[in-house]
Amino acid sequence: MMQARRHGGCHREDPAVKDRDRKALYASDATPVTEARSFMSQPTSQCGQQHRYTLKELGWTEEHDAAFSKYAGPYLAGRVACRQKTVWDVLVDGGSVTAGISGALRRLGRFPAVGDFVVLLRQPETGTSMIVDILSQKTRFTRGSAGREGTDQVIAANIDTVFIVTAAGRDLNPRRIERFLAIAHASGAFPVIVINKSDLADDPTTLADEIASASPGIPVIPISAVSGEGVDRLDPYLPPRRTVALIGSSGVGKSTLINRLMGRPVQETSDTRDYDGKGRHTTTVRQLFVLDGGALMIDNPGLREVGIGTAFAGIADTFPDILEVAEGCRFSDCRHEGEPGCAVQAAVAAGTLPAARLESYQRLVQELAFEQAKAEIGLVRLEKKRWKAIGKIQRDIGKMKGE
């Protein structure tokens, strides 16, 4: 286990800095060394920063107290900051623990995700600890199709707010934002759209207005993570103990934003990160940070692994305008593709609903239907398989052409 950690911690930083921080933390610690604290001070964690936060500051609530009350004895509660294959870094009261999971959880296919609140059991004979339970999740980002539960599907849990980060310029694409919105809504978290790199835009306000029209009711906030411009407008969404995840394409500036909000470089950005020579990114960056204001922030909880199929549940919240008009359609299962008595088509004809909006909706529905059909035949568990499936479909189409 230690081996695995050394070879690829979730987080890389200058070891000297890390050592110094750790020393500072424990050297200045005047409180009596309890048993728990002494085992926590083992220099195990590569992922969660050393810290002094209480469980409550990490987002623990009275509901968690109630769920945890059945545990007595050598149990400890914590919050998962990072997962590295079969090893988890868990933030506990005043420190971090690196742990595996119990055989029972493994057999059930219940693997803790970043953001999970977990129960740890200390194993005095080995000096290690083991995750034995996962407390019930308030929200979750899942990998596969909606409805499949209990297996290794949850990527991030207990996220209250999602910052959908996009950047002025090439990345700014309303279609992509709609996909992210549907995924965010499906998770149960509250979305906020952040348009980064506004320093590169001639007119950030107009940009924000355009995006706002594709996301009714969702805050749209232009910022520059590099200059700091507009970043304070995120404050209302960052109160103490609120868990906020950053999602968005690679390169839009998520890590730069975390570094700005933390006031120091805690995440590697694309200027600093390591590649393995084949151009692949070699570190898994998946962490929970506590901001100065007390909010908890998760950088990029593996969104590429999130199946778009999971977004079905969020589509109604992504297109509330269309769903509202659709209540007037004659058929309850109207697809708004020319059925008689279609109120949506009527609204487009009358100019009260933009045609582009309906197109977006239909495109996403089609995409989700395709994903779901694939999920049902078991093809979409991993992105690799997904591409294989698409390749096969393309080959099949090619064959049909040839005949």
Decide whether 122 or 254 has the Cβ nearer to Mg ion. 254
Query: Of 139, 145, 196, 255, which one interacts with Mg ion (CB under 5 A)?
Result: 255
Q: Does 82 sit near Zn ion (CB under 5 A)? A: no
From the CB of 271, what's the least distance to ligand GDP, in Å? 5
Query: Strands 75-84, 87-92: parallel, antiparallel or unpaired by DSSP?
Result: antiparallel
From 158-166, 235-243, 260-268, 324-332, span contacting Zn ion (CB under 5 A): 324-332
44 binds, among Zn ion, ligand GDP, Mg ion, none (CB under 5 to 8 A by kind): none
Decide whether 99 or 201 has the Cβ nearer to ligand GDP. 201
From the CB of 31, what's the least distance to Mg ion, in Å? 35
Q: List binders of ligand GDP among 215-274 (CB under 6 A).
A: 224-226, 250-256, 269-271
From the CB of 339, what's the least distance to ligand GDP, in Å? 42
Residue 208 CA: distances (Å) to CA of 215, 230, 238, 403:
10, 12, 20, 50
Read off the tokens for 331.
């058929």
329 binds, among Zn ion, ligand GDP, Mg ion, none (CB under 5 to 8 A by kind): Zn ion
What is the sign, positive or negative, of the torsion defined by CA atoms of 327, 332, 333, 337? negative
Q: Directed axis angle between helix 355-376 and helix 174-187, to 10°? A: 60
- Say how many Å lie between the first and final Cα of the chain, rounded: 55
Which of these, 387, 302, 318, 310, lies nearest to 357 by C-alpha position? 318
Decide whether 250 or 366 has the Cβ nearer to Mg ion. 250
Q: Does 140 sit near Zn ion (CB under 5 A)? A: no
Q: Does 358 sit near Zn ion (CB under 5 A)? A: no
Decide whether 200 or 390 has the Cβ nearer to ligand GDP. 200
Q: Does 336 sit near Zn ion (CB under 5 A)? A: yes
342 binds, among Zn ion, Mg ion, ligand GDP, none (CB under 5 to 8 A by kind): Zn ion
Q: List binders of ligand GDP among 34-63 (CB under 6 A).
A: none
Helix-, strand-, coil-residue percentages of the chain, each rounded to 5: 40, 20, 45
Query: Of 161, 196, 287, 345, which one interacts with ligand GDP (CB under 6 A)?
Result: 196
Q: Does 344 sit near Zn ion (CB under 5 A)? A: yes
Query: Strands 117-123, 95-101: parallel, antiparallel or unpaired by DSSP?
Result: unpaired
SS3 for 286-321 is CCEEECCCCCEEEECCCHHHCCHHHHHHHHHHHCHH
Query: Strands 154-157, 140-142: parallel, antiparallel or unpaired by DSSP?
Result: antiparallel
Query: Of 195, 218, 295, 334, which one interacts with Zn ion (CB under 5 A)?
Result: 334
Decide whether 12 or 336 has the Cβ nearer to Zn ion. 336
Decide whether 261 or 348 has the Cβ nearer to Zn ion. 348
What is the sign, positive or negative, of the torsion defined by CA atoms of 99, 55, 142, 147? positive
Decide whether 188 or 354 has the Cβ nearer to Zn ion. 354
Read off the tokens for 367.
């995409």
Instruction: Give the residue nearest to ligand GDP (CB).
Output: 253
100 binds, among ligand GDP, Mg ion, Zn ion, none (CB under 5 to 8 A by kind): none
Which of these, 308, 366, 377, lies nearest to 335 by C-alpha position? 366
Q: Does 301 sit near ligand GDP (CB under 6 A)? A: no
Residue 353 CA: distances (Å) to CA of 149, 336, 338:
37, 13, 15
Q: Does 200 sit near ligand GDP (CB under 6 A)? A: yes
Residues 297, 231 contacting (CB under 8 angstroms): no
Binding site for Mg ion (CB under 5 A): 254-255
Binding site for ligand GDP (CB under 6 A): 196-197, 199-200, 224-226, 250-256, 269-271
